Structure 1
Amino acid sequence: MAHLKQTFSSLFNCFRETPSLFFRMVRWDSCLHTDEEHVNFARRDELNRALTKETEESDGPVNFELDVCHQDPEYKSPAPLPHAQVKLITSWEAGWNVTNAIQGIFVLGLPYALLHSGYSGLLLIILAAAICCYTGKILIACLYEENEDGQLIRVRDTYEDIANACCKSLPPRLGGIVVNVTQVMELIMTCILYLIASANLLSYSFPHVPVTAKTWSVIAFVTLLPCVFINTLKIVSKLSQLCSLVHFIIILVVMTYCLTQIHQWSWAKFRLSIEFEEFLVSVGVIIFSYTSQIFLPTLESNMKNPEEFSCMMNWTHFFACVLKTAFALTAFLTWGEKTKEIITDNLPSFLETLVNLCLLAKALLSYPLPFFAATEIVYSCISRGNHSKYRSPLFSLGVRGSFLLLTLLMAMFMPHFAVLMGLTGSATGAAMTFLLPSLFHLKLKWKKLSILEKCADISVFTLGFLCSLAGIVCSIKRLLTVFGGV
């Protein structure tokens, strides 16, 4: 547990110099500029035709409930995925994936964040939910353009396509390459974090077993081997549903114990004054506990009813906001100044063991979502074009197997990984969550945006730039300190 706590502590400290701004509340329903009930969303024509043809030959006709419009003639669809990967998911399944992303490990740090932010922390939890929901929707809005009839037509398919559309004046595909590299780096780092957390939790749950940390990493790796056979987002959605269930059990256990201590609660434990440096820690933890933008293009493109995406984002972020507020509030009121960075460390020993086993299950079940997203990005880039050998199931299996092995090797042998992950997260997390969605939205939709929407995008872009810059500087300082440079 000491290793796990050290890892979390390093991540919390990475946000220590992250700047904060007051967020502006924006309308959640203003991301798309027409009534969704009267807009026909376009799907990928080539992919739908292939799916319909294959399914008619094997299982009979497919009945899609979407009106498919013609795509932009200049739009080039990426290489089609293997047949199993074109199974579409429902809005509920997409919602479970988003819930898995925004109800992650950082939730356990929210009571500690509240300790250093006081009443302003409660406001930050609400505003962060609104801002992250907004940036997720404007990112997806960049995938669509209106035709002459006012219908929204899907002219782009991925984050890469959006970047290429915004960087036409640069060398060909440079914008897309940068975005893809950034996405894959963050997703790999996320996978490695889950693997490290799983190994540490195994070590702590079975302290009397004479096994080294690297051996526990291999054991956790073995339990994740079935991930190489996951070739459809439907399976990932089911695992995300189980992960969310485990998460709710953790929250329920902690909150139930806190409610038994209600006689000790006192609102006087909240701070009216805050220290700026400590407040920055809270801002970083709260904001980055809501990030899911990196998964959204993949999720939305695999939804049966993409017109329900906006509604799905609303209820997932609203529910997450309510749950996080209740969890952070009850935990902080229970322990006050004694609140620790990982709230499970405050629990009695018999509950702590139960919660740690649940955390182990949550870490293992959280791994498939970023793993699937990363491998799909790489597979799509490699198989683009007419190279049929890159589209075989065997090659896809090889890509996933290579990525799984890479995460194990980095988790086992990379020194000071937590610090390096802090650097990567500061550079890529803020960029993918705040900076790029707002920048792309301004670039592609400038003429159609209202003044309020332009101001909102500019504010979010400024926030993303400052967070990314300060986080990089902070992480580089810590890297130099760790490696003895200063």
Structure 2
Amino acid sequence: MFLVALPYAVLHGGYWGLLALISAAIVTCYTGKILVECLYVTDDVTGLRMRVRESYVDIAKEVWGDRFAAQIVHTAQFIELIMTCILYLVLCGDLLSNSFPTNKLDETTWTMLATFFVVPCAFLRDLKAVSRLSFGNAIVHVIVNMILIGFCLSYAAHWHWGDVAVHVDIHYFPVSMGIVIFSYTSHIFLPSLEGGMVERSKFNKMLYVTHALAGFFKALFAYLCFLTFGPGTRDIITDNLPTQGFRAVVNVVLVIKALLSYPLPFYAAIELLERAFFSGRPRTFFPSCYALDGYLNSWSVALRTLVVIFTMLLAIFIPHFNLLMGLIGSFTGTMLSFVWPCWFHLKIKWHEIPWYQKLLNILIILSGMIVGLIGIIYSMEALIKIYHEEQ
């Protein structure tokens, strides 16, 4: 979904932005691999690997203990997921307001209207319905990318080859790095994904192939779009499309894609909430969200609806798509995808891994913390600056 913001990384980072897109794919592929390795122990006698942990939280418990591990990881995962939902609504409001600028409806109103279409997510009970919506999302994804890449190729004779910078804008490149990192945050799903595979031995191969393709196509998309629009590249690339009608069509397709993308992170966030607070007494303080017949209780549907409304309110109050995405990527993205996998791997596998892998893990931890901290500072600075300008 966030491909639309990647040309923004090239605008402020030039070739360094493209290098960051490819480097992030390589690093997150590696950290995803070692995260899943932490699920296993090797029998000293037989040499066979046994899966003794099931989730990211289980790995954290092994390192941090039972008391705080679940709370820390659940909080980071929930922030990541709920902010993803917020970003989808921010994107919908932005795209629709730019598609119909002569209309009297402002961005806030469009965001509220978009929220109306995701309220039914409060009734989701399993992944079957989510998977159907995600399948529709994948179809729309292919369509919109073919349209945008085809448009860029049609302008090949006018590409801005000389405008791709070899230097970075220090005030905005850290925000771009946050966007890049956010586009690779899949680690919270990897333990479950690996556990559900029929042939788990092919997990690493799957990681290599998917991350190689993701890195290549993200860099290609960002590069082609920047070559097409040059220094005038907007934070959401469809705003650069030449005619209002063409822009409106593409934006509406993207809005459909955003609405179809919303259920998956929303459902995952709700699962985290239910597991932490609503698993039923005496396991949790609150009762289960589900009745004995397996259907949702009326109060739990109301609670889920409040979560949808919460995402809408934050989308209204923080209507800056690229800066918000950069802030989230710099915070939870670096922790979940860079720092924690390497940290856990060092603690759990210290006596099994060679010295050069230990050194690599330490370097990734340090670089992740530095990039994350700088990204948070500059993203907050840019948000504060924009709010002062708007007042």
Does the pair score TM above 0.5?
A: yes
Give the TM interval when normalised to the shorter protein: 0.7 to 0.9
2:376 is matched with which residue? 472
The change in CA–CA distance for 1:215 and 1:126 in structure 2 (over 3 A counts) is: closer
Q: Is structure 2 residue 49 aligned with structure 1 residue 152? A: yes
Partner in structure 2 of residue 311 of structure 1: 205
Residue pairs, 1:83-94, within 5 angstroms: none
1:178 to 62, 65, 72: 72
Question: How many angstroms apart in 1 are the aligned matches of 2:298 and 2:228?
Answer: 48
- What is the letter of the counterpart of residue 72 of structure 2? V
- Contact preservation (8 Å) 2:36, 2:190: yes
Larger CA deviation: 301-310 vs 184-193: 301-310
The answer to whether the aligner puts 1:412 opposite 2:306 as a matched pair is no
Does structure 2 retain, via aligned residues, the 8 Å contact 1:187–1:371? yes
Taking the TM superposition and a 5 Å limit, the aligned residue runs for 1:5-24 are none
Task: Specify which of 139, 145, 149 is matched with residue 251 of structure 1.
Answer: 145
Give 1:437 shift: 1.1
**Secondary structure in 1 matching 2:120:** helix
Q: 1:299 to 1:369 in 2, by over 3 A?
A: farther
What is the percent sequence identity of the aligned residues? Answer: 40
Q: CA deviation at 1:358?
A: 1.4
For residues 63-462 of structure 1, the aligned pairs below 5 Å read: 104-105=1-2, 107-147=3-43, 148-168=45-65, 172-207=66-101, 210-211=104-105, 213-265=107-159, 267-349=161-243, 350-382=245-277, 383=279, 390=288, 392=291, 393-395=294-296, 399=300, 402-412=303-313, 415-416=317-318, 418=320, 423=327, 425-462=329-366
1:299-355 deviation digits (Å, cap 9, x = unpaired): 333444433332222222122122112212222222223322222122122321121
What is the alpha-carbon distance in structure 1 between the residues aligned to residue 295 and residue 139 of structure 2? 33
8 A contact 1:199–1:216 mirrored in 2: yes
The CA distance in 2 between the partners of 1:197 and 1:336, in whole Å, is: 22
The answer as to whether partners of 2:175 and 2:378 remain within 8 angstroms in 1 is no
Q: Quick one: distance in 1 between partners of 2:220 and 2:326? A: 28
SS at match of 2:339: helix
Question: Using the alignment, how far apart are the partners of 2:376 and 2:173 within structure 1?
Answer: 18
Tell me the amino acid that sits aligned with residue 159 of structure 1.
Y
Partner of 1:62: none
Report the Cα distance in structure 1 between the residues aligned to 2:110 and 2:80, rounded to whole angstroms. Answer: 24
Please state how far the C-alpha of 1:154 moved relative to its aligned partner.
2.0
State which drifts further: 330-339 or 182-191: 330-339
Q: 1:387 to 1:164 in 2, by over 3 A?
A: closer
Distance in 1 separating the partners of 2:298 and 2:217: 38
Paired with 1:344 and 1:313, the residues of 2 have a C-alpha distance of 30
Q: Structure 1: state its 5+ residue gaps.
A: 1-103
Q: Judging changes above 3 Å, is the alpha-carbon distance between structure 1 residues 426 and 404 closer, same or farther for their aligned structure 2 residues?
A: farther
Give the letter for the 1:355 counterpart. Answer: V
CA distance 1:302–1:288, change in 2 (3 Å): same
| Counterpart amino acid of residue 142 in structure 1 | C
Using a 3 Å threshold, how does the CA distance of structure 1 residues 315 and 367 change in structure 2: closer, same or farther? same
Write the letter of the residue equivalent to 1:165.
E
Aligned letter for 1:406? V
Does structure 2 retain, via aligned residues, the 8 Å contact 1:426–1:467?
Answer: yes
1:141 Cα offset (Å): 1.8
Does 158-167 or 386-395 show the bigger shift? Answer: 386-395
In the TM superposition, residue 247 of structure 1 has moved relative to its aligned partner by 2.1
Q: Shift of the alpha carbon at 1:178?
A: 1.2
Deviates more, 1:187-196 or 1:423-432: 423-432
Q: Distance in 2 between matches of 1:303 and 1:209?
A: 49
Q: C-alpha distance in 1, partners of 2:27/2:260?
A: 27
- The number of residues matched between the two structures is 377
Structure 1 letter corresponding to 2:263: P
TM-score (norm 2): 0.84
Secondary structure in structure 2 of the residue aligned to 1:449:
coil
Aligned partner of 1:440: which letter? F
How far apart are 1:214 and its partner, in Å?
4.9
Q: CA deviation at 1:180?
A: 0.7
Q: Secondary structure at the match of 1:271?
A: coil
Q: Secondary structure at the match of 1:340?
A: coil
Instruction: Output one character per residue of 1:5-54: Cα deviation in whole Å (capped at 9) or x when no partner.
Output: xxxxxxxxxxxxxxxxxxxxxxxxxxxxxxxxxxxxxxxxxxxxxxxxxx
Q: Is the 8 A contact 1:229 1:397 kept in 2?
A: no
TM-score, normalising length: structure 1:
0.69
Per-residue deviation, 1:219? 3.0
| Equivalent residue number for residue 86 of structure 1 | none
Counterpart Cα distance in 2 of 1:125 and 1:481:
27
CA distance in 1, matches of 2:342, 2:246: 43
Q: Distance in 2 between matches of 1:162 and 1:256?
A: 44
SS in 2 for 1:224: helix
Which stretch has the larger CA shift, 452-461 or 474-483?
A: 474-483
C-alpha change, 1:309 and 1:405, in structure 2 (3 Å) is: farther
- In structure 1, what is the Cα distance between the partners aligned to 2:326 and 2:227? 30
Deviations along 1:400-425, one digit per CA (max 9) or x if unpaired, are: 65234223234236634657776555
